[in-house]
Amino acid sequence: MATAKDIRPRQDELSLQAQHLSTSPSASFHSPSSHGSALTRTIPLANAKHLKPFATEDIKVLLLENVNQIGREILSQQGYQVEFLKSSLPEDQLIEKIRDVHVIGIRSKTKLTARVLKEARNLIVIGCFCIGTNQVDLQYAADHGIAVFNSPFSNSRSVAELVIGEIIALARQLGDRSNEMHNGTWNKVSNKCWEIRGKTLGIIGYGHIGAQLSVLAEAMGMSVIFYDVVNLMALGTARQVDTLDALLAEADFITCHVPELPETKGMIGQRQFEQMKQGSYLINASRGTVVDIPALIHAMRSGKVAGAALDVYPNEPAGNGDYFNNDLNTWGADLRSLKNLILTPHIGGSTEEAQTAIGVEVGQALVRYVNEGTTLGAVNLPEVTLRSLTMDEPNHARVIYIHKNIPGVLRKVNEIIGDHNVDKQMTDSRGDIAYLMADISNVDASTIKDLYERFESLASRIMTRILY
């Protein structure tokens, strides 16, 4: 079995590295599940060599905030030392724990500020087992060669299914009928209750969620039109329209799936409500700033909009409780008083399946980064990958050199690796940070140590790792 090891040692470990080789792990390197984003999906070679950082048992992982079980298993199966905590930690305890670990996995409550990351001397990668990465100082992490991964699209299907449910619920006024029954009122009506079959769904933003929704809606017998700033291949018999106005004028149900951008802020306001058909329906499960809520309240009171479902709001409470009031949003009470309005607390992506998919995607991204140095899907470093080294390449090493993007670096790098046979190499930069990956053949342990020391002595150096 070929040996495999990474040196990104602390200086005091350097002398030990040459003798202390770990064996390849028995767990195979799985390809990510279909839940992963296209970007993070890579197909490993059948005889891929399992590169391992340090000795297998040396990789220390700290998982906080009850990270999904499958994510924990993916990391444990690699032989890493995984410490798992159900909650987040107060800053002083976090600083204490983060000092030793190479990998940390968090969700949204743990704040990885520059103050905390400054203490993380061995940290090479952060996994955000969630959608957002606002809780991490991404620039500080990049400046110190720490990669950050998240899982932005694992919950697309969950959102699409919620929207399908809401289309039917609005068409049949289910929210109101259910509320009435809860209050003891029997109100059997068919007036202004519709089937969705044959109606037109207008999707604004035909990305991960919009495209899933398109397929589901057609299966329910709806006609689908969509508007997107990019020209996209329509799925099924869906049809892209040229302008937002064209969509608003034609659709019976309008649903927003655009990102939060300056151009999408207030994208659906008074003028857009005026363009809509009388008695149309609006759904927003994208971002709270996309719909002008006072304009929606006006459109619903006037009867222009027959029903709406909101999952996201301009201001959302940080935790669960009685917070959805006028202190949070001045129009809160007006909104809550409307009929045929479904209000949900940003649960579009909140399903068990989405949590599992996040665990798989982030867990696998961490393993790929630790074992192979691949940054595909990283949010703060350039995206670089090379095909895996194989078992037929036992004396090969992979150099990873994260450095400041300054003139003359590559000349110096080539002076170091120029004497060796470089099988393949890739460099990319993102802002001031560049990431170089090179596979070198015919190297032994002492050559690797020499390469490591020479890379570490360069002025442009942020972090050097050598995997073999």
Does the annotation mark 346 as catalytic? yes
We find the least distance from the C-beta atom of residue 240 to ligand NAD, in angstroms, to be 11
Catalytic residue chosen out of the listed positions 13, 263, 274, 316: 316
Q: Residues in the site for ligand NAD, rule: CB under 6 A?
A: 153, 155-156, 159, 204-210, 227-230, 257-261, 263-264, 285-287, 311-312, 346, 348-349
Rounded CA gap, 439 and 224, in Å? Answer: 48
Residue 316 a catalytic site member: yes
Q: Measured from the CB of residue 158, what is the shortest distance to ligand NAD in angstroms? A: 7
Tell me which residue has its CB nearest to ligand NAD: 207
Tokens of 394: 């036992």
Least separation in angstroms between residue 260's CB and ligand NAD is 6
Smallest gap from residue 138 Cβ to ligand NAD (A): 17
Cβ proximity to ligand NAD, 153 vs 281, nearer residue: 153
Please tell me which residue in 20, 41, 346, 387 is annotated as part of the active site.
346
- Kindly state the smallest distance separating residue 267's Cβ from ligand NAD, in Å: 6
CB of 354 to ligand NAD, least distance (A): 8
Is 287 among the catalytic positions? yes
Q: Output the CA angle 214-212-355, nearest 5 degrees.
A: 155
Q: Which is nearer to ligand NAD, 335 or 413 (by Cβ)?
A: 335
- Residue 227's nearest CA partner among 251, 248, 244 is 244
If the CB atoms of residues 81 and 275 are measured against ligand NAD, the closer one turns out to be 275
Counted residue by residue, the chain has a size of: 468
CA 283 to centroid of chain Cα atoms: 23
Q: Catalytic one among 107, 177, 287, 398?
A: 287
Q: Are 171 and 196 in contact (CB under 8 A)?
A: yes
CA distances from 235 to 225, 232, 240, 409 (A): 10, 9, 10, 46
Q: Which is nearer to ligand NAD, 211 or 438 (CB)?
A: 211
The Cα 26–Cα 343 span in angstroms is 49
Residue 354: count of CB within 10 angstroms of its CB: 22
Q: What is the full DSSP assignment across 284-345? A: E-S-TTSB-HHHHHHHHHHTSEEEEEES--SS--SSSSS--STTT-TTHHHHHT-SSEEE--
Smaller CB separation from ligand NAD, 312 or 384: 312
**Toward ligand NAD, which CB reaches closer, 158 or 223?**
158
Alpha carbon distance 126, 107 (integer Å) = 10
Question: What are the catalytic residues?
Answer: 287, 316, 346
